[in-house]
Amino acid sequence: MIVLRLPGGLSLRLRPRALVVGLAGTLLALGLAVLAVGAGDYPIAPADVLRVLAGGGSPADRFIVTELRLPRLATALAAGAALGLAGAVFQSLTRNPLGSPDVLGVTSGAATGALTVVVVGGGSAALAGAAAAGGLATGLLLYALAGRHGVGGHRLVLVGIGVTAILTGVNGWLLTRAPLMDAARAALWITGSLDGRGWANALPVLGALAVLLPAVLLARAPALRLLEMGDDSAAGLGVPVRRVRAAALGSAVLLVSVAAAAAGPVSFLALTAPHLARRLTRAPGPNLLPSAVVGAALLLAADQLAQHAVAGRQLPVGVVTGVLGGGYLAWLLAGERGGRR
Amino acid sequence: MTGPDEKGTLMRPDTPRLVGEALTLGYDRRTVAEDLTVAVPDGSFTVIIGPNACGKSTLLRALARLLRPARGTVLLDGADIHRRPARQVARTLGLLPQSAVAPDGLTVAELVSRGRYPHQGLLRQWSREDERVVDRAMADTGVAELADRPVDELSGGQRQRVWIAMALAQQTPLLLLDEPTTYLDIAHQVEVLDLCARLHEEQGRTLVAVLHDLHQAARYATHLVAMRDGRVVAAGDPQQIVTTELVEEVFGLPCRIIEDPETGTPLVLPTARRRSVPAA
């Protein structure tokens, strides 16, 4: 722990290791992004990519970079960061390493919203809006059922698993009701995919991050850390427990909802990113910023794998995050059971 | 100094800083106590005792602002504690709850540092004052040499001292402890209570603790509150109020009371079911 003291009584406390992880993760994500923009059927050298980003480059390069590839990358980075951040907040609030928005039903709720639009009919804007609304409604339901008494993690996880089960059933029913063509589109959406994403998909997530990252991260991180010691301890130290929990839960649900609206309910990312971040920083507490950075890098990397791993055939990114994230988690838990930490 | 800060109060001098008036307490629809009035004398080591489920921990939770009374008010420095901001209350009143969890891998120094939260801000995260107060709190509780050890590796007695250190770092003139000796063996119980007594005597803090053991309560308390079924049966100096009648009424336990040969305080001896015959 290093302490930075500035004149005027200002002081900041920083963990060097968390700082290094955050910076390295950011550089890695940005470096990957430059390579990713260049990769594809029309390869562009990294130097040309940088030239375009700096405002130059040939008209063809410019079009491909800014209109075709950059929006998809921005969507991947923003949705990954949003999911990583939301996952960290959820795991901290539930005091449970498995208490992620996928397990608690928020992403299933977003899927229900999207599927309803598929059945009823509507464009991609309506689909994204309905997905966000579905996630938010599920978040409200969770809070009404479990957050009311100021009750912590345990109850939220149990209620969430119940809500997930119900929504999975509803989603299955909706899929059988959808016309065949639409059912294929819906199945793709449910898996989570970044295919053909434009700026209209990326901007809402970037906007939500720009507002909620400072609001959740800077203002609430110390209180969230104290909440991990139990409601009573936190209250004794002067944390307004209910208000902090409601604000943090609300922000996390909003982030998951807009991320799902943009990229679909990408599985396992919100669960895996905070675990990986904590392993890297070795710091107690929610590890919010490292989780966001790791989430962004992971989703970007997974999307590149999805596009280029199988030659001539693109996979939905949710397949990659599901297989890799699930595998990583199983390996992690098996290792912990064996006493490694 | 980790001693209490002397905030000016707008109080009449004869009213204690922490008072519960006509409290009705309960969870959801279950009422635990009705029309309960207690005062915590300033500068006292107040101990609340009573049989299981008599409402003693519930009363402490209400005094600590954790539980909002269904009726009545808890007054801290003359103002309703539930109408004051949590952080402001946390600079006057500290709490050691029963249910505290130390997150994995958190070190002693980091945990104790968290006691500074009510004094910190976004841009004032770690002042020299914070550092000094935390060092002092660890020294006062004898955990300074454990500073870099993870809390989850410590013994029960050490861990309890660390939590007390965290509460001390909060620098509150009032400190509430909910069953601080539960789950500790007898040596660690005495260690923790001796520490509390020292904080009370040397630093002039007002302490309120819920305890199970009547003998320990009588030994350490300067003010004893005896409860049964959500009522206060008696309150006052243990020397004066601990009688066979009181123990019978509160715990339903027939007993004799003798003088504690160590301290001169009342020592409660439960009546024996049968006397053992001394060996010839």
Residue A284 has its nearest CB partner, among B100, B105, B124, at B105
Q: Any CB–CB contact under 8 A between A211 and chain B?
A: no
pLDDT at B13: 57
Tell which phi-psi region holds residue A57, choosing left (phi > 0), alpha (psi between -120 and 50) or beta: left
B42 token code pair: 């300033």
Q: Any CB–CB contact under 8 A between B114 and chain A?
A: yes
Residue B153 is classified by DSSP as: G
| Residue A262, C-beta contacts closer than 8 angstroms, at least 6 positions apart | A75, A78, A79, A128, A197, A201, A202, A204, A205
Q: To the nearest whole percent, how much of chain A has pLDDT over 90?
A: 40
pLDDT band at B9 (very low <50, low <70, confident <90, very high): very low
The chain A residue lying nearest B178, using CA atoms, is A232
3-state DSSP assignment of residue A139: helix
Where is average pLDDT lowest: A38-42, A81-85, A190-194, B198-202? Answer: A38-42
Residues in B closer than 8 angstroms to A233, CB to CB, are 95, 97, 99-101
Please tell me the number of Cα atoms within 13 Å of A67 on its side-chain side. Answer: 6
Residues in chain B: 280
Residues in A closer than 8 angstroms to B120, CB to CB, are 222
pLDDT of B46 over the 90 cut:
yes
Q: Any CB–CB contact under 8 A between B104 and chain A?
A: yes
Residues in A closer than 8 angstroms to B128, CB to CB, are 5
pLDDT band at B280 (very low <50, low <70, confident <90, very high): low
Quick one: CA dihedral A39, A43, A47, A49, positive or negative? negative
**AA identity, residue A166:** I
pLDDT band at B2 (very low <50, low <70, confident <90, very high): very low
pLDDT at B182: 87
CA-CA distance, A152 to A209, in Å (whole number)? Answer: 25
pLDDT at A173: 92
Cβ of A230 within 8 Å of Cβ of B87? The answer is no
pLDDT at A98: 84
Cβ distance A157 to A96 under 8 Å? Answer: yes
Cβ of A232 within 8 Å of Cβ of B105? The answer is no
The vertex-B66 CA angle with B68 and B12, nearest 5°, equals 75
pLDDT at A10: 77
Strand partners, B255: B270
Task: Over range B178-203, report the average pLDDT.
Answer: 92
Task: Classify each residue of A14-30 as buried b or exposed e, where b means 16 or more C-beta atoms within 10 Å of its C-beta.
Answer: ebeebeebbeebbebbe
Task: Over range A254-265, report the average pLDDT.
Answer: 92
Cβ of A232 within 8 Å of Cβ of B122? The answer is no
Cβ of A230 within 8 Å of Cβ of B97? The answer is yes
pLDDT at A6: 76
pLDDT at A151: 53
pLDDT at A150: 52
- pTM surpassing 0.80? yes
Residue B114 has its nearest CB partner, among A95, A230, A237, at A237
pLDDT at B4: 46
Could you read off the pLDDT of B193-203 as tens digits, one per residue?
Answer: 999 999 999 99
Task: Over range B72-85, report the average pLDDT.
Answer: 95
Q: What is the phi/psi pair of residue A282, to 5°?
A: 55, 30
Task: Classify each residue of B202-222 as buried b or exposed e, where b means 16 or more C-beta atoms within 10 Å of its C-beta.
Answer: eeebbbbbbbebbebbbbbbb
Q: Can you list the alpha helix ranges (DSSP code H) found in chain A?
A: 16-38, 46-53, 59-62, 70-94, 101-104, 106-120, 124-142, 153-177, 180-191, 199-212, 219-227, 231-236, 241-263, 269-281, 288-308, 317-337
Q: Any CB–CB contact under 8 A between B123 and chain A?
A: yes
Cβ of B86 within 8 Å of Cβ of A238? The answer is yes
Residue A36 burial class via C-beta count within 10 angstroms: exposed 0-12, middle 13-18, buried 19 and up: buried
The whole-angstrom distance between A69's CA and the closest CA on chain B is: 39
- The residue of B87, B93, B126, B178 whose CB has the most chain A CBs within 10 angstroms, and thus the best one to mutate to test that interface, is B126
Cβ distance A109 to A140 under 8 Å? Answer: no
Cβ distance B74 to B176 under 8 Å? Answer: no
Q: Any CB–CB contact under 8 A between A240 and chain B?
A: yes
Q: Any CB–CB contact under 8 A between A284 and chain B?
A: yes
Cβ of B95 within 8 Å of Cβ of A233? The answer is yes
pLDDT of A338 over the 60 cut:
no
- Give the helix/strand (H/E) hosting B59: helix B56-63
Residue B170 has its nearest CB partner, among A13, A230, A237, at A237
Q: Any CB–CB contact under 8 A between B84 and chain A?
A: no
pLDDT at B12: 52
| Residue A316, C-beta contacts closer than 8 angstroms, at least 6 positions apart | A188, A191, A192, A193, A195, A264, A306
A99 alpha carbon, distance to own chain's centre: 14
A237 token code pair: 């130290």
Number of A to B CB contacts under 8 A, please give it. 95
Tell which phi-psi region holds residue A92, choosing left (phi > 0), alpha (psi between -120 and 50) or beta: alpha
Where is average pLDDT lowest: A28-32, A260-264, B3-7, B18-22? Answer: B3-7
Cβ of A235 within 8 Å of Cβ of B88? The answer is no
pLDDT of B172 over the 90 cut:
yes
pLDDT band at A119 (very low <50, low <70, confident <90, very high): confident
Q: Can you list the alpha helix ranges (DSSP code H) found in B64-185?
A: 86-89, 108-113, 128-140, 156-169
Could you read off the pLDDT of B94-150 as tens digits, one per residue?
Answer: 999 987 888 888 999 999 999 999 998 878 888 889 999 999 999 999 999 999 999
The chain B residue lying nearest A8, using CA atoms, is B124
The chain A residue lying nearest B87, using CA atoms, is A238
pLDDT band at A203 (very low <50, low <70, confident <90, very high): very high
Residue A237 has its nearest CB partner, among B88, B90, B104, at B90
Cβ of A238 within 8 Å of Cβ of B105? The answer is no
The CA distances from residue B256 to A154, B90, B274, B277, in Å, are: 46, 42, 14, 19
Quick one: CA dihedral A175, A176, A179, A185, positive or negative? positive
Q: Any CB–CB contact under 8 A between B168 and chain A?
A: no
pLDDT at B117: 95
The vertex-A245 CA angle with A242 and A247, nearest 5°, equals 105
Q: Any CB–CB contact under 8 A between A151 and chain B?
A: no
3-state DSSP assignment of residue B259: strand
Residue B125 has its nearest CB partner, among A13, A226, A284, at A13
Residues in A closer than 8 angstroms to B99, CB to CB, are 230-233
Listing DSSP states for A48-116 in one string gives HHHHHHTT-S-HHHHIIIIIIIHHHHHHHHHHHHHHHHHHHHHHHHHT-TT--HHHHTHHHHHHHHHHH
A219 token code pair: 């203002």
User: Which of A75-84, A101-110, A191-200, A215-224 ranks highest by mean pLDDT?
Assistant: A75-84
Cβ of B89 within 8 Å of Cβ of A238? The answer is yes
B106 token code pair: 């958190």
